Structure 1
Amino acid sequence: MHTSFANALAALLLAGAIGLAAAAPAASAAPAGAPATAARTQHTAPDEDGYKLWLRYQALAPAAQERLQAQARSIVLAAAATPTTSAAIAELQRGLAGMTGTAPPQASALADGALVLATPASMPSLDAALKAELAQLGQEGYLLRATRLQGRAVTLIAANADTGLLYGAFAWLRAAATGVAPEARSAPGLQLRLLNHWDNLDRHVERGYAGASIWDWWALPEIVDSRYTDYARANASLGINGTVLNNVNAKPEVLTAAYIAKAAAVADVLRPYGIRVFLSARFSTPLELKETDTADPLAPAVQAWWKNKADEIYRAIPDFGGFLVKANSEGQPGPQDYHRSHADGANMLAAALAPHHGIVMWRAFVYAPHPDPKTDRARQAYEEFKPLDGKFASNVIVQVKNGAIDFQPREPFHPLFGAMPHTPLMMEFQITKEYLGFSTDIAYLGTLFSEVLDSDTMQRGQGKGPTVAQVLEGGDAPRQLTGMAGVANIGVDRNWTGHHFDQANWYAFGRLAWNPQASAQHIAKEWAAQTFGNDDRVQQQVVQMLMMSRETVVDYMTPLGLHHLMGTAHHHGPAPWVNDLERPDWNPVYYHRAARDGIGFDRTASGTNALDQYAPALARLYADPRTTPDRYLLWFHHLPWTYTMASGRTLWAELLWHYDRGVAGARDLQARWEALRGAVDARRHAEVAQRLRRQVINAELWRNACIAYFQSVSGLPLPPGVAPPPQSLDAYKAIHFPYAPGRG
């Protein structure tokens, strides 16, 4: 973007920031950094239910409205008319009408003050410099410019294809809504940017906490909910370009003709927004449908069945994306049932999809059905997939969870990242908070995602990279396939995600999938401005809440590298004492290994040696507890309770300090939000406040139950100033959650 235009646009947008009115008396528990007085408005803001997400398009101040109108007196489509460009124009009209409080601008001939959507193919008059820039941005990138076309002063949204124009329109609207200058140019860092819905055909959402599935399979294909269009708009605004409609624990029926027709009806709604439909496929589908007598991937009849099935799907959904497969994991069937490898299974499906340019996303979340108690579940994915590097077909991408265990509040990055240079790897994050307090506790996952993406794999040596983000983007050898997937947190709750703040996790995932090296804090600011308005006091407080929230949850749940201490099956609440489950690695005691001698999982050479799966420079760094970051200390080391931490405290005292800090953080979040009473509409404020009260209760339960248990194991007294748990350990053990939502 020309600097003068960028500065001018930033100035006019900032001048139009919404100013919410005067303050009222301070909340009694206002935290440090909170407004000195509660930010009450003189005129109460209208209640909102959260349905509009970050696409609220609230009115700007009058002067800013006039300036925005001057930039878009009319809309000119200098590109082929398609359903996608129609969607872009409709969004611009909706956004401008909302932010200016006037009738939406209409299409017209080119004139001064026009907002122009153009492609080089349909507007040859674009200058050579612009065309050269566009040539570097692919089919989804875009340019935003203040320029002159045919002698007219216009605002230009330019792209090589209609999808790029749609993304550019959303980017321009985002800049207007947040009061910042838009990026001059942008293109996605990853090709595949997908949501994975763990939604079942009966509309139950596994690990979902925002109500039933939005996909009404019973009503489809004849009855298509208008919510699907709003879902598409929200995802397109972030650059998400694909969605897997059904659970990875797939049912064979989803590949029958009736369900293919239902998926096709959804695909028709999503297509104009640049979103392709994918399906999770059960590996044994032809066998379970009784159409073959085996699911062996090398059996000709099985290969033929999948080829015919792919042909059938593409007849109904010409732009079908492909299959996501969970195989030989948690009881799911797979190629190993027939003594074949993951590559054998993935490549068989890839061959069926290849004529249609479809892809296979093969999940690396595996662990043995009969684990060796002397080894480590964290090792298995690496042990199974590393030997297969370079053996997957070109249209296969291996989908790897961010950590080697299972979406914990904190994990080191998965050792497969950087270890398979000849195989495309796709990140799998969890947006829904299976292990982070469901949709009750605030935990902004933008910081978790960025922590993983920014991690140095040290494949070239300490401090030399590549980072995990760079691995995903192709590293030293750009790959044919790149991608990021997020397990969706979306349901039929009116606000989509159960907790208003959980919308930020959907938002952060999309923005980081577009640019894996983006700033989590910058993304939080974007979301806060669009979701709660441009009052600086509200924005700053909401951003502070987001940025501290995930660390707060880690503190009161799994500090210092502890992991998987959650309750059985539902994964809610503390249960570090559980030791009676069928598999050793389903028990929390397997992971913390607390005893009189100390606590933590030894993954060094003296233990399971999972560290040898990382690059040598990183393994050396983490082999010594003194050079292991505190946040991963008990992930990699079993240490005595008396071990001296960098703070000078013993490990026992440090653990208790983190639990207390976590509870204090939960109370701080509550107080910060209370200080915004009156500055946020009453409905959303009340709904968030209720959940924050519950979060404090959750934090106190975690703190008290874990301290009671670990004190019983260690036999150590509580240090001075540490309050004892108010109940006995037996009382905490007696707490059960038999009907917790989202169970698998």
Structure 2
Amino acid sequence: MVYKKSVLYLSLFFLPFFLSAQKGYDLWLQYDAIEKEDIRSQYLRQINNIVPFGSGETVKVAVSELQMAFEGFFQEAIRESVAIGEHDIVLGTKENLPPYVLPSLELELSKINSEGYIIKRIRIGNTPVTVITSQSDAGLLYGVFRFIREIQLHNNISDLHIVDSPRIQKRVLNHWDNLDRTVERGYAGFSIWDWHHLPDLIKPQYTDYARANASIGINGTVLTNVNANSLVFSPHYIEKVKALAEVFRPYGIQVYLTARFSAPVEMGDLQTADPLDPEVRQWWKNKADEIYAEIPDFGGFLVKANSEGQPGPNNYGRSHVDGANMMAEALAPHNGIVMWRAFVYSEHDPEDRAKQAYTEFVPFDGQFHDNVLVQVKNGPIDFQPREPFHPMFGAMPNTPLMMEFQITQEYLGFSSHLVYLPTMFEEILDEDTYVKGEGSTVAKVIDGTLSNKKLTGIAGVANIGTEKNWTGHPFGQANWYGFGRLAWDPYLDSEEIAEEWLQMTFSNEEEFVEEVSDMMIKSREAVVNYMTPLGLHHIMDTGHHYGPGPWVSDLDRPEWNPVYYHKADSVGVGFDRTQTGSHALAQYAEPLREKYNSIETTPEKYLLWFHHVPWDYEMENGETLWYNLALKYQEGVEDVEEMVETWNRMEKYVDRQKFEKTKMLLQIQLKEAKWWRDAVLLYFQQFSKMELPDFIPKPEHDLEYYQSLKFPYAPGISPAWH
């Protein structure tokens, strides 16, 4: 039996790239030479030629990626002309594979969706081959990246049998990037989109960005800030967006834009943006037609409306349904979608901010068009170090809800702090809403299995910028990677994801992976401890959200003041959200309502979120709330000290540049953890009137000093907050 072998991997075309690569820039796609002889020899026996079936840009990209990977992994063997194996890598979609291959794959092909893939060792006659196949070109590319990952992780590929599909359809990055290249809540430099030079200058970073996203299954990118600018809808900018879409298309990535609701007025065409006005509805249809004429696979619109000063349908006495459905109708003929954000709260609404999104949206359950996803933040306030899950999850069974996570660390120390966020993502996804009985997890709401949803989605607010390593902090890359892996499969284990990322980015050495993954897993709890333990929230300084500011009380809007959230007084601290308080707890299903209604049965991690607790309240360990609050802050500092010690032991495994940068950043994190501990405890001590426990070191400064600190040029500030 004969088949055409059209592409060999033995070309040295890409080799100089690997010899001169900036490893931080390469993210987790570092195809370094496999140095261990036994492992390298095993792989060399398993591979030979790359044999593609089919054509098209995505197939070319898949073949190129395999070539690049093999030349990196086996460069020494290639130089020395070491004998290689006889096992070909055959790749092609179901449609393009030769008929004699398909009988061995029929069962697996019936189990994957349009973006899924199969990697299977089979025999064609007497010839052993590894087949990578799928129902679509995008699925084929995902399969190729998975095959490469197996080698990066030094897994056995001699008898591969992998069948995998994404559980969520729309897996999207949200860039809060402005057209002037500033990035709201961006801590890694300026926007990577060079709008001024587009469409004529196509930077290599655009392709590398697409490669990185495709490697973890991300299939969409929203290019612009949710605090939107109507200018992006002009023909001049649509041409620029088209250029990016053409770069991303071979990697299976759709582009989306944020739609400013008042665009029909601001672009000078109409006098109103009323969504029930026929001329307005026609304007949006015409604009959609214009965009799709240039970008046939354009994804659709992300909309922030009637939130933090942004215009929306409420300006005209209309509802969120009216606005979202108007845009959905414009996009529907082109298979586009609307992602309508549920992050809304009003300074004119005296109701607890944590309740307002639920109050505004839940009554409209089932009224949104089929191509609308309501995009909900993971918690009811705003990307805090720890929040309970948003009560909207599970409360709208007839509406597709799209999860919104924040990858950029707006409230978690920016890119100065090592905080591994997939543990937080996993915590939220695993939470049980109980709306259909036990086991009704948030993950099941998001992937559509709880209520049989046809349209599903998940978004992550990107932490990407022009820094050489993309994310500022070297470990910030893990949050981008981890988001992509959980977007593909929200049931994955965050610890396994950390280990994968470390092996692909730093080292496969067992001691390194074991110790540093443990450090990563503990890092999120550390930041909760030294910033907002026991359910405290939103006590960061205002505007930039950098450092502690529990004393801030003079802002125009009450819900922008940290005192609104902690409510410290001589009796105690915490926000009462039970029946005796704001009753936000009523938005959750039983048995959560009953469990969280009592101080005694509320998990301590959410204690001050749901209760105003006396300073002398005796907690599980027999000590007072005040003692335990101090204990958590001290534990947070000690957690970072332990992180510093762990990293210092890892010097022999890490290149000097990455080691030194991470070491210095950990010192910043330790310094700021102590700042948080001292400033917050001194502030709350005014109310508790209790002595600090003996284990708390004497603060370096007094409270007046900490209150005097100002940071007018902290990165990521925007006039319109999220």
TM range (shorter): over 0.9
Q: Which residue does the alignment assign to 1:164? A: 139
Give the whole-Å Cα distance in 2 for the aligned partners of 1:129 and 1:48.
42
- Partners of 1:583 and 1:429 lie apart in 2 by 25
Q: 2:398 is matched with which residue? A: 422
Q: Say whether residues 1:401 and 2:377 are aligned partners.
A: yes
Asked whether the equivalents of residues 94 and 102 of structure 2 are also in contact (C-alpha less than 8 Å), the reply is no
Residue 282 of structure 2 corresponds to residue 304 of structure 1: yes
**What is the alpha-carbon distance in structure 1 between the residues aligned to residue 200 and residue 22 of structure 2?**
31
SS at match of 2:285: helix
Q: Distance in 2 between matches of 1:610 and 1:50?
A: 44
Q: TM-score, normalization: structure 1?
A: 0.91
Question: Which residue does 1:142 correspond to in 2?
Answer: 117
Is the 8 Å Cα contact of residues 446 and 509 (structure 1) preserved in structure 2?
yes
Which residue does the alignment assign to 1:720? 694
Q: TM-score, normalised by structure 2?
A: 0.94
Aligned residues of 2:47 and 2:86 also touching (Cα < 8 A)? no
Q: What is residue 353 of structure 1 aligned with on the other side?
A: 331
- Does residue 218 (structure 1) correspond to residue 196 (structure 2)? The answer is yes
CA contact (8 A) 1:436 1:443 kept: yes
2:607 is paired with a residue whose SS is helix
Per-residue CA deviations over 1:97-145 (Å, capped at 9, x if unaligned) read 111125889xxxxx94100103222222234462232122111101111
Tell me, in whole angstroms, the C-alpha distance in 1 between the residues paired with 2:78 and 2:401.
44
- What is the identity, as a one-letter code, of the residue corresponding to 1:333? P
Asked whether 1:153 is paired with 2:131, we answer no
Q: Counterpart amino acid of 1:312?
A: E
Counterpart in the other structure of 2:600: 626
**Structure 2 equivalent of residue 294 of structure 1:** 272
Q: What's 2:243 paired with? A: 265
Residue 290 of structure 1 aligns with an amino acid whose one-letter code is: G
SS at match of 1:117: strand
1:550 aligns with 2:524: yes
| In structure 1, C-alpha distance between the alignment counterparts of 2:103 and 2:393, rounded to whole Å | 40
- 1:6 paired residue number: none
- Partner Cα separation in structure 1 for residue 331 and residue 76 of structure 2: 49
Deviations 1:2-51 (A, max 9, x none): xxxxxxxxxxxxxxxxxxxxxxxxxxxxxxxxxxxxxxxxxxx9995500
Q: How does 1:104-143 map to 2 (within 5 A)?
A: 112-122=86-96, 123-128=98-103, 130-143=105-118
Inter-partner Cα distance in structure 2 for 1:519 and 1:132? 27
Separation in 2, partners of 1:425, 1:128: 39
Higher relative contact order (CA 8 A, sep 6+): 1
User: Deviation at 1:617?
Assistant: 1.3
Cα displacement string for residues 679-731 of structure 1 (whole angstroms, at most 9, x for unaligned residues): 21101100111100100111000000001100012211122333232211101
**What secondary structure is seen at the aligned counterpart in 1 of 2:50?**
strand
Q: 1:66: how far off?
A: 2.5
Partner of 1:25: none
CA deviation profile, 1:293-312 (whole Å, cap 9, x unmatched)? 10000001101110000000
Worse-superposed segment, 536-545 or 649-658:
536-545
| Inter-CA distance 708–157: structure 2 relative to 1 (3 Å threshold) | same
- Return the match for 2:649 from 657, 671, 675: 675
Partner of 1:666: 640
Contact preservation (8 Å) 1:93, 1:104: no
The 10-residue stretch of structure 1 (90-99 or 175-184) with the greater mean CA deviation from structure 2: 175-184
Secondary structure of 2:572's partner?
A: coil
Matched letter for residue 39 of structure 2: A
**1:11 matched residue in structure 2:** none
2 CA distance for matches of 1:454 and 1:230?
32
- The alpha-carbon distance between structure 1 residues 630 and 140, as it changes in their structure 2 partners (threshold 3 A), is same
Partner of 2:8: none
Q: 1:678 to 1:293 in 2, by over 3 A?
A: same
C-alpha separation in 1, matches of 2:550 and 2:301: 37
- The 5 Å alignment of 1:300-699 reads 300-372=278-350, 375-461=351-437, 464-699=438-673
1:248 aligns with 226
- Cα distance in 1 for residues equivalent to 2:644 and 2:695: 23
How many residue pairs end up in the alignment? 690
Q: Is the 8 A contact 1:250 1:280 kept in 2?
A: yes
Distance 1:494 1:541 in 2: 26
Matches of 1:299 and 1:672, distance apart in 2: 62
Could you list the runs of 5+ residues in structure 1 that have no partner in the other structure?
Answer: 1-44, 106-110
Distance 1:227 1:138 in 2: 30
CA deviations on 1:483-524 (whole Å, 9 max, x unpaired) are 100000000100000000000000000000000010000000
Q: Which residue of 2 aligns with 1:173?
A: 148
Q: Distance in 2 between matches of 1:674 and 1:171?
A: 32
1:280-305 C-alpha deviation (Å, 9 max, x unpaired): 01000011111011000000110111
Give the 3 Å change call, closer, same or farther, for CA 637–694 of structure 1 in structure 2: same
Partner of 2:178: 200
CA contact (8 A) 1:116 1:155 kept: yes
Question: Are 2:572 and 2:687, in contact at CA under 8 Å, matched by a contact in 1?
Answer: no
State the percentage of identical aligned residues: 53
Tell me by how many angstroms 1:537 deviates. Answer: 1.6
CA contact (8 A) 1:120 1:131 kept: no
Q: Is the 8 A contact 2:39 2:154 kept in 1?
A: no
Aligned to 1:729: 703
Whole-angstrom CA distance in 2 between matches of 1:215 and 1:362: 24
Q: 1-side partners of 2:342 and 2:403: how far apart? A: 10
- Aligned Cα root-mean-square deviation (Å): 1.5
Counterpart CA distance in 1 for 2:262 and 2:490 is 35
Which consecutive residues of structure 2, in runs of 5 or more, have no partner in the other structure?
A: 1-18, 80-84
Partner SS for 2:339: strand
Paired amino acid for 1:456: D
